[in-house]
Structure 1
Amino acid sequence: MRAAGSFSVAVIICLLWCGVWEVAPMAKANTSPSQCKQEVGRLRDECRSAILPGRNPSALCCQIVRAAHVECVCPYVTPKVANLIPVGRTIKQIEGCGRSVPRNFKCGSITTPP
């Protein structure tokens, strides 16, 4: 049970990371804690399969990622979480959603490659 729980946490974290990349170019918006909780939940629910090897984000997942707010996602990117995120694969998935990935962007404990 613990292994399945750890995998679920890794999936959620990676999905949150996708949201970080998508919203970096956008201006910060004032979001409430309940709005952030809803966004994080939608990312988790709709993008869950995208983290599996050989799977790409669905159209709905990409739509949710593009609408996510950086202030909702970055607090989850702790040093421990940063070690679980496959940065290169995540960048490719985001680009597959039609978005560019900003260089040298800092979010939580991660800075994107130059």
Structure 2
Amino acid sequence: MAWWLRLAVLMMVGSHWAWGQCETSIPKLISQCGQYVEGSGPETTPSKACCDVITSLDIPCMCKYVTPDVEKLVNMEKVVFVAKSCGLTLQPGMKCGSFVIPPSV
């Protein structure tokens, strides 16, 4: 099964209610940004469409619901890279699942 399909299943089934609390369009997030945060490969500057989705998110809310299963599929360092590339400021020390946002370099 493709990584993005596994992620979609995990996010939609495993934590559908929780992610819904953050008013997030999971299908749109996966389709526009999934390729930029998958576990393998280099960091890649996200598309405008991905940034449009990312900048509309309630990141602190979503971070509360990142599970170990999601972290197996999504590279959290890439998530931070994408967020910063899209102009978001993430608070150093904030936890997203078990990942802690590092200090700004």
TM-score, length-scaled by structure 2: 0.60
TM-score after normalising by structure 1 = 0.56
- Whose RCO is larger (CA < 8 A, sep 6+)? 1
Q: 1:43 and 1:73, CA in 2 relative to 1: closer, same or farther beyond 3 A?
A: farther
RMSD value over aligned CA atoms?
A: 3.3
Q: Which has the higher helix share?
A: 1
Q: Deviations over 1:62-106 (max 9, x none)?
A: 01111112434532x112333443233332222111122211102
Task: Show structure 1 runs of 5+ residues with no match.
Answer: 17-31
Residue 9 of structure 1 and its aligned partner are, at CA, apart by 4.7
Residues 1:74 and 2:64 are matched in the alignment: yes
* Residue type of the alignment partner of 1:74: K
Q: Taking every aligned residue pair, what percent have the same amino acid on both sides?
A: 22
SS at match of 2:25: helix
Is 1:45 aligned to 2:31, yes or no? Answer: yes
Give CA-to-partner distance per residue, 1:26-48, whole Å, 9 cap, x none.
xxxxxx93873x52221112223
**Partners in 2 of 1:65 and 1:96 — Cα distance?**
10
Structure 2: where are the runs of 5+ without partners?
12-18
